[in-house]
Structure 1
Amino acid sequence: MTPFRHALVTGGGSGVGRAIALALANDGVDVTICGRREAQLEAVAAESERIHGIAADVTDEASMQALHAKAEATRGPFDIVVANAGMASSAPAQKVSLADWQQTLAVNLTGAFLTVKPALGAMAKRKQGRIIFVASTAGLKGYGYVAPYVAAKHGVVGLMRALAAENTKTGVTVNAVCPGFVETDMLEESVRRIVEKTGRSVEDARKSLAATNPQNRFIQPDEVAAAVLWLCSDAARSITGQTISVSGGETW
């Protein structure tokens, strides 16, 4: 059981973020979730009285600072920050526009930094806390046709390692969970793009993505949530600066 009382989970309105929020809430943690779609946040908040939604944009520093201030004023300081919000598009590198490149890095990398930045000083002062980045196996290896996403997630892993190094003596641990393909709406979008661009069937597209996992299956959101929950526990107090691959053996 986690000893912490208040968590922030970005991208908490669906998929992995929703699963993490529910796992933390079921463990007795008050959870603030954020995203851009209020209806999704409200739907997840309705699943647990411990979950509260606040609409915010992870790419906007003022928006994230306001979120931290509002949530902490009502439910206390964040003990746990899970930077989960992300997005991906697909194209050969030579066809990636500068706008697409910048948007992907803004959401996945800059957004991760702006999510955790407001909490760093207070956590260090209290000498406790958990910062967890939901990266990807794309932060540990390369994939074709998603160069901006791979670059951003490698950046997230580097950011995690830098923050872990800064906080080794503060009692704040910083880690990254790196899932393979997870069965979420983002996966369905990837399948749709494969079908549109190649003419393959949905079944064939799904099989091709599942085959990247040596277990020949998709990771489930609750598996990622379980890894996050463990990193938030007292049993993981000595785990910092690590990438936890949740990928069925695709990466080590």
Structure 2
Amino acid sequence: MDGISGRQAIVTGGGSGIGLAIAAALTGAGAAVTVLGRREAPLRAAVEAGKAQGFELADITAEGAFAAALARCGHPAILVNAAGAAESAPFLRTGDELWDRMLKVNLLGAAATTRAVLPAMLEAGWGRVVNIASTAALRGYPYVTAYTAAKHGLLGLTRALALEVATKGITVNAVCPGFTETDIVAESVARITAKTGRSEAEARAELARHNPQGRLVRPEEVAAAVLFLCGNGASAVNGRAIAVDGGEVP
């Protein structure tokens, strides 16, 4: 694909779900993809399945971990920040530790990885940074205040940095999926069934009702939006939040 083939790319959270689908799409377009995450087994499986060229073990919330991984795998022209986590609790039971976890993995980790790769992109005069946010970056949801605030922050980071690098051949964008067929949604379904006694089918339907199409988004649909943003055809798309949600967010 024009602009992607031959480029080096890093996908954080690339061992499963949306991150894995993005790694596969970029690899299919000719990029040399390194998937990065905390669990070796799914990362190794991604490489063995031909969905990535290599992998690095790193926790983006640990200081210096990404920089160490970068020293081993090299500086990418494409960075996709797909690592994320969601925890739910009523606001008055959302303590400092939960806030800390949500901010670190969903916002501060992405800031750290971007800060590490940006100098090389600036030197090359070309780069793509795509942050996987959420429809939670565009609207509110109850019982996930910390997660929603972190994703709003990630979108703010996207928009501000996009303006800083607008004349440097680099674009910074966000993709905001609705409820998607991932482990995070599977965990949400499990919580709903445990707390309400609903069946798994009923819990999934509760999440799918947010989407006007009446279904969950597929990871490959999110990956398609990322692939577009990384190509030369999206050179004028900068600082945008692209919702992949079946029309949930107006």
| TM-score bracket relative to the smaller structure | over 0.9
SS at match of 1:61: coil
**TM-score normalized by structure 2?**
0.97
The residue number in structure 2 matching 1:83 is: 81
1:197, distance to aligned residue in structure 2 (A): 1.1
SS at match of 1:178: strand
After superposition, the C-alpha distances for 1:114-167 in whole angstroms (9 at most, x for unaligned) are 121111111112111100000000000000000010000000000001110100
Partners in 1 of 2:123 and 2:13 — Cα distance?
27
Answering whether residue 229 of structure 2 is matched by residue 231 of structure 1, we say: yes
After TM superposition, the runs of 4+ consecutive aligned structure 1 residues lying more than 6 A away are none
The residue number in structure 2 matching 1:156 is: 154
1:201, distance to aligned residue in structure 2 (A): 1.3
Partners in 2 of 1:118 and 1:226 — Cα distance?
26
Bigger CA drift: 48-57 or 182-191? 48-57
Bigger CA drift: 165-174 or 50-59? 50-59
Give the counterpart letter for 2:184 in structure 1: M
1:241, distance to aligned residue in structure 2 (A): 0.4
The residue number in structure 2 matching 1:123 is: 121
Query: Contact 1:21–1:51 (CA<8 Å) still a contact in 2?
Result: no
Partners in 2 of 1:14 and 1:102 — Cα distance?
23
Instruction: Using the aligned pairs only, state the percent identity.
Output: 50
The residue number in structure 2 matching 1:13 is: 15
The residue number in structure 2 matching 1:48 is: 50
The residue number in structure 1 matching 2:41 is: 39
Partners in 2 of 1:198 and 1:147 — Cα distance?
20
- Tell me: CA distance 1:49–1:177, structure 2 relative to 1, closer, same or farther (3 Å): closer
After superposition, the C-alpha distances for 1:32-64 in whole angstroms (9 at most, x for unaligned) are 111100011001111117521110011123101
- Tell me: CA distance 1:217–1:127, structure 2 relative to 1, closer, same or farther (3 Å): same
SS at match of 1:120: helix
Give the counterpart letter for 1:3 in structure 2: G
The residue number in structure 1 matching 2:3 is: 3
SS at match of 1:8: strand
Query: Contact 1:82–1:133 (CA<8 Å) still a contact in 2?
Result: yes
The residue number in structure 2 matching 1:221 is: 219
The residue number in structure 1 matching 2:179 is: 181
The residue number in structure 1 matching 2:164 is: 166
Residue correspondences, number = 248
**TM-score normalized by structure 1?**
0.96
Partners in 1 of 2:51 and 2:35 — Cα distance?
13
1:169, distance to aligned residue in structure 2 (A): 0.7
Tell me, which stretches of 5 or more residues in structure 1 are unaligned? Answer: none
1:213, distance to aligned residue in structure 2 (A): 0.3
Query: Contact 2:21–2:220 (CA<8 Å) still a contact in 1?
Result: yes
After superposition, the C-alpha distances for 1:79-137 in whole angstroms (9 at most, x for unaligned) are 10000100011111111121111111111011111121111111112111100000000
Tell me, which stretches of 5 or more residues in structure 2 are unaligned? Answer: none
Partners in 2 of 1:12 and 1:2 — Cα distance?
23
The residue number in structure 1 matching 2:29 is: 27
The residue number in structure 1 matching 2:70 is: 68
Query: Contact 1:2–1:232 (CA<8 Å) still a contact in 2?
Result: no
C-alpha RMSD of the superposition: 1.0
Partners in 2 of 1:223 and 1:49 — Cα distance?
16
Give the counterpart letter for 1:225 in structure 2: A
Partners in 1 of 2:129 and 2:43 — Cα distance?
22
